[in-house]
Amino acid sequence: EEHFASPGFMAGPGRELTARLHSAQAGDLMAGVVERLVDLDTLRIAEMDEAGIDTQVLSLTSPGTEQLDARDAITLAREVNDVAAEAVRRHPGRFVALAALPTAAPDAAVQELARAVRDLGCAGAVINGHIGARYLDDPFFWPIFEQAQTLGVPIYLHPTPPPEAVIAASYTGNFSPAVTAQLAAAGWGWHIETATHILRIILAGVFDRYPKLQLIVGHLGEALPFMLERLNRSMPPPLTRLERPIGDYLRENLHYTFSGFNFLPPYLNLMLEVGVERIMFSVDYPYSSMEHGRQFLERLPVSPHDRERIAHGNAERLLALT
C-alpha cells in the first residue's frame, strides 16, 4: 500500500484530493503529499533508500477510479496502469504495481486486469471501496473476482469514505464539520466501512464460489481480527449458509498489511488470530513515514525468520515475486 497518482488522476479525481490536502484542517501533516504522490523517480527512491526499503508495491491513491462513471473509469484505469508499468520498467526491482480497474464496468475491468497482469506485469489489483454506493457482494462485480482467481493474483481492498447517506446518518453530529470529515475517514469510518465491505463479500458467498481468491486489507485488518471470534459466535454456518465459519475466510482468504498502523497491541491481536504468514509490511506512503514503518518492523517481538516473512517473504509468495 504505497500510493501514487498519475497525471490523468490528478486532472480528475485528484483535484478534490489536492484541495483536501491543502485545506486548513490538513495543515503541516499533509505537506508534501501531492509532490510525493506524483513522483515515481528521484524523491521516492531516495526516501526508500534512506529508510532501507528495497521495493514498493505501488497502488493508485484513493478515491481511485471507483467514484467515476464507467467511461471515465475505463480511460483513467488504462492511463494509470501504463504510468505504473513504465515506472516499474525504469526502476527494475524497486517497484511492483497493482492495477487500477474500471470497477464500474466489470467486463472492461476483467479485460484491463488481464492486460495489466499479462502485458504490463502487474502483481494484482486495487479497488478503493464501494463503487458509487454499490458493494462488491453484488454479483454484478463477481466477474472481477473470477478473473483474479483465474490469473492467480490478489485484490487489495482499500478504504474510501462511506456513501454520503451513511456519513449523514452516522458521522454527522453535535460537533464541527471538520470532526465529521475525520470521523468518517481516517479517524474511524474508512476502517469500519472496509471491514463491513469484507464481511459483505464473505456473507454473500464470494469465497465459496471462488475459494482460491485472495484479498488484501490494510491497517492491521481494519478491526476485523478484534471481532473475529465474536463474528464466529454470532453468525455460525447454520445461519449464514456458508461452507465455513466466518473466521476461516478471514484466516484463509485474506492477507493483512500494516499500512501506517504502527501500533503493537493491534498487531499482536492480528498475529494471534490469523498467524504471521498472512501479515505483510507496508508503510502507506506518502501518508505515513517510511522511516517510522521500518522502525516498527524492527521492534516487533518476533523471531528473525518471522520478521523476514513479514518484511518480504509473505509478499513475495502472494504476489509471485520470486
Active site residues: 284
DSSP state string for 28-56: GGGTTHHHHHH--SHHHHHHHHHHT---E
3-state secondary structure 286-318: CCCCHHHHHHHHHHCCCCHHHHHHHHHHHHHHH
Cell of 71: 467511461
Alpha helices, DSSP H, located in the chain: 7-11, 14-21, 33-38, 42-51, 70-90, 106-118, 142-151, 164-166, 177-183, 189-203, 206-209, 224-234, 237-240, 246-252, 264-274, 290-299, 304-308, 314-318
Residues facing 261 on adjacent strands = none
Closest CA to 278 of 252, 300, 240, 247: 252
Per the omega criterion (within 30 degrees of 0), is the bond before 159 cis? no
CA distance 52 to 245: 40
* Type of residue found at 14: G
What Å distances lie between residue 153 and 97, 142, 143, 172, 234, CA to CA?
A: 12, 15, 14, 38, 31
Q: How many other CB atoms are there within 10 angstroms of residue 175's CB atom? A: 11
Residue written as grid cell 523476514: 308
Number of neighbouring beta carbons within 10 Å of residue 283: 28
Distance CA 18, CA 21 (A): 5
